[in-house]
Structure 1
Amino acid sequence: MNARVNDEPASVSLTEQAYAVLRDRLVMLEIKPGEPINEDRLRTELGVGRTPIREALKRLEQERLVVAFPRRGTFATDVNISDLSHISEVRRTLEPLAAAAAAERATAQDRTALTDLRSRLDTAAPTGDNTELLRTDVGVHRAIYGCVHNPFLEDTLISYDNLATRIWCVFLPRLSGMAGHVDEHVPLLTAIIEGDAKKASELASQHVIGFEQAIRALI
Structure 2
Amino acid sequence: MRYEIEVEVNFVLERGKTRPAYHQSYEILRDKILNGDIPGGTKIVEERIAAELGVSRTPIRESIRKLEHEGLIVGKKVVKPTETDLRNMFQVRIILEGYSAQCAASYLKEKELQALQRCVEIGKTGTMDEIMSANEQFHEIIVQASHNPVMIDIIDRMQSIIYLFRRTVVFYNRPFLIEEHEEIYEAIKNRNGQQAENLMKKHLQADLDFCLHLIGNE
TM bucket by the smaller chain?
0.5 to 0.7
| Mapping 1:175-190, distance limit 5 Å | 175=172, 177-178=173-174, 180-190=176-186
Code of the residue aligned with 2:209 in structure 1: it is: Q
TM-score for the superposition, normalised by structure 2: 0.65
Distance 1:58 1:88 in 2: 24
- Taking only aligned residues, the RMSD between alpha carbons, in angstroms, comes to 4.3
2:187 corresponds to which of 185, 191, 204: 191
Whether the 8 Å CA contact 1:142–1:158 is kept in 2: the answer is no
Change (3 A) 1:43 1:121: same
Determine the structure 2 residue equivalent to 1:112: 114
Larger radius of gyration: 2
Determine the structure 1 residue equivalent to 2:7: none
Whether the 8 Å CA contact 1:184–1:207 is kept in 2: the answer is yes
Deviations 1:4-52 (A, max 9, x none): xx9xxxxxx99788767755543443432133556547967xxx99887
SS of 1:184's equivalent in the other structure is: helix
Code of the residue aligned with 1:213 in structure 2: it is: D
Whether the 8 Å CA contact 1:100–1:200 is kept in 2: the answer is yes
TM-score for the superposition, normalised by structure 1: 0.65
Code of the residue aligned with 2:121 in structure 1: it is: S
Determine the structure 2 residue equivalent to 1:214: 210
Determine the structure 2 residue equivalent to 1:102: 104
Deviations 1:108-160 (A, max 9, x none): 442332233233334x16x7x6x875554334323332333333312322444
Structure 1 unaligned runs (5+)? 7-12, 69-73
Whether the 8 Å CA contact 1:114–1:193 is kept in 2: the answer is no
Deviations 1:44-83 (A, max 9, x none): 7xxx998876655433312311135xxxxx4422222332
Whether the 8 Å CA contact 2:116–2:185 is kept in 1: the answer is yes
Determine the structure 2 residue equivalent to 1:10: none
- Quick one: percent identity of the two aligned structures? 24
Distance 1:193 1:113 in 2: 12
Distance 1:142 1:90 in 2: 15
Determine the structure 1 residue equivalent to 2:146: 148
Whether the 8 Å CA contact 1:103–1:193 is kept in 2: the answer is yes
| Matched length | 201
Code of the residue aligned with 1:82 in structure 2: it is: T
Distance 2:79 2:92 in 1: 20
SS of 2:176's equivalent in the other structure is: helix
